[in-house]
Structure 1
C-alpha cells in the first residue's frame, strides 16, 4: 500500500468516524438509546463511499452535502435499530390525554432539534474541511522533501548525475569581461590632435 493509499484511508476513516459520532450524539440528545451494532454498521456504510470520494482534495462545497447525507443515513439506521430492539417493560398507563401528548413528544423532531442538527453539520463540515486542507498541505510538503532526494539517488544510480539540473550561476560582482577590462582604462578625448613631444627638439 502506497503513501497516497494510506492518506486516502485516513481521510475516509476520519470522515466516517466523525459523522458516526455526530449522529450518535444527536440520537442520544433526542432521547434515543445507543445501539453499538447500528453505529458500527453506519460507520461501515459511510466509510466505503467516503473512500471513493478521497481521490482529490475536497472543499466545503463537497464536504457539507456529504456530511448532511451521512447524517440522514445514520439517523435512519439508528432509528430503525431502536425500533427493532425489544421494548422495555410498559409503564403504568398515563391518565387522560397524557398518552397522546407522550406520543407527540416522541414523534418527529421539532424545529429546534432540526436547527441544532443543521448547525452541528455546518460546524463539523467546516472542521473537516480545515483538517482536509492541513493534511493535504502536509502530504505535499513531505512529498517534496522525500521525492527530490530519491530522484537524485536514482540519477546517481543511473550514472547520469551530470544531467541533474543545477542552478544558473551568474557573474560575480566586480568581475568584468576582457573587453570591458581593456576599455576601462581607455581615455576618450575630442578635438584636434596635440603636438608630439620629440626628445631634443627645440621648443
Structure 2
C-alpha cells in the first residue's frame, strides 16, 4: 500500500517535528542554545528527508539510519550556530564538529530510542489503515451487494441444412444395442 500525497506530508511533518523538537531539547539540556531561524532550517531539512522516505511503510532498518543521519546534521547545524561567547558561558567548550564521547553516546541512544518509537508507531498506523480498509470493504459489500444477474436466454441459429434422407432425419440416436437384440436375449 502506498501513501497519498496528503498522508505522506502529514507523516513527514510528524517525523520532522519529533526529530527536531527532541534534538533542540537535548541540545538545550546539554548547555547549548538554538536560534529560531536555525531551528526552522533544521525542521525544513528533516521534513525534506522524511518526505522522501514516506511513500510507504518504513521499518526500523530505514528509520534508524535516517534518524541517525539527521541527528548528526542537526547537531552540526545547531553547534555551528553558536557564537564562541555562548559556548564559554555555558561551559560548552568543544568544537561543533568534534563532540565528546558522552555526547556521541547520548545521540546514539536518543536516535535508537526514537527510531524504535517511530517504527512502532509506523507499524501501528499501517496496521490500523489495513484493518480499516478491510472493514470499509466489508461494509460496502453489505450496503452495496452485487446485483443478482438473471440468466440470459441464448438463442442459437439453426445449423445449416445437411443433405440426409428422411429416415435418418427422424431417427432417435440411442446408445446401446439395437432394440431387436434386446428382446432376443430376454426370451
Pairwise same-fold verdict (TM > 0.5): yes
Question: How far apart, CA to CA, are the structure 2 residues paired with 1:151 and 1:73?
Answer: 50
Q: Residues 11 and 54 of structure 2 are in contact (CA less than 8 Å); yes or no, is this contact kept in structure 1?
A: yes
Question: How far apart, CA to CA, are the structure 2 residues paired with 1:52 and 1:151?
Answer: 36
Alignment of 1:78-97 (within 5 A): 78-83=78-83
Residue 117 of structure 1 corresponds to: 107
Alignment of 1:7-46 (within 5 A): 7-46=7-46
Alignment of 1:1-203 (within 5 A): 4-83=4-83, 105-107=93-95, 108-150=98-140, 161-162=147-148
**CA distance change for structure 1 residues 112 and 5 in 2, over 3 Å: closer, same or farther?**
same
Question: How far apart, CA to CA, are the structure 2 residues paired with 1:23 and 1:59?
Answer: 21
Local SS of the residue matching 2:148: helix
Question: How far apart, CA to CA, are the structure 2 residues paired with 1:151 and 1:77?
Answer: 54
- With the length of structure 2 as denominator, give the TM-score of the two structures: 0.65
- The more displaced of 58-67 and 71-80 is 71-80
CA displacement, residues 110-166 of structure 1 (integer Å, 9 cap, x when unaligned): 21121111111100100000000001111111112223444666x66xxx5226xxx
Structure 1 stretches lacking a partner, 5+ long:
92-101, 164-203
Aligned residues: 143
Residue 172 of structure 1 corresponds to: none
Q: CA RMSD in A?
A: 2.7
Residue 183 of structure 1 corresponds to: none
Q: Residues 33 and 82 of structure 1 are in contact (CA less than 8 Å); yes or no, is this contact kept in structure 2?
A: yes
Q: Residues 8 and 51 of structure 1 are in contact (CA less than 8 Å); yes or no, is this contact kept in structure 2?
A: yes
Give the CA deviation at 1:29.
2.7
Question: How far apart, CA to CA, are the structure 1 residues paired with 2:38 and 2:142?
Answer: 51
Question: How far apart, CA to CA, are the structure 2 residues paired with 1:12 and 1:151?
Answer: 34
Give the CA deviation at 1:17.
0.9
Local SS of the residue matching 1:161: coil
Give the CA deviation at 1:16.
0.8
Structure 2 stretches lacking a partner, 5+ long:
150-187
Q: Residues 12 and 47 of structure 1 are in contact (CA less than 8 Å); yes or no, is this contact kept in structure 2?
A: yes
**CA distance change for structure 1 residues 113 and 147 in 2, over 3 Å: closer, same or farther?**
same
Give the CA deviation at 1:4.
3.5
- With the length of structure 1 as denominator, give the TM-score of the two structures: 0.61
Q: Residues 152 and 161 of structure 1 are in contact (CA less than 8 Å); yes or no, is this contact kept in structure 2?
A: no
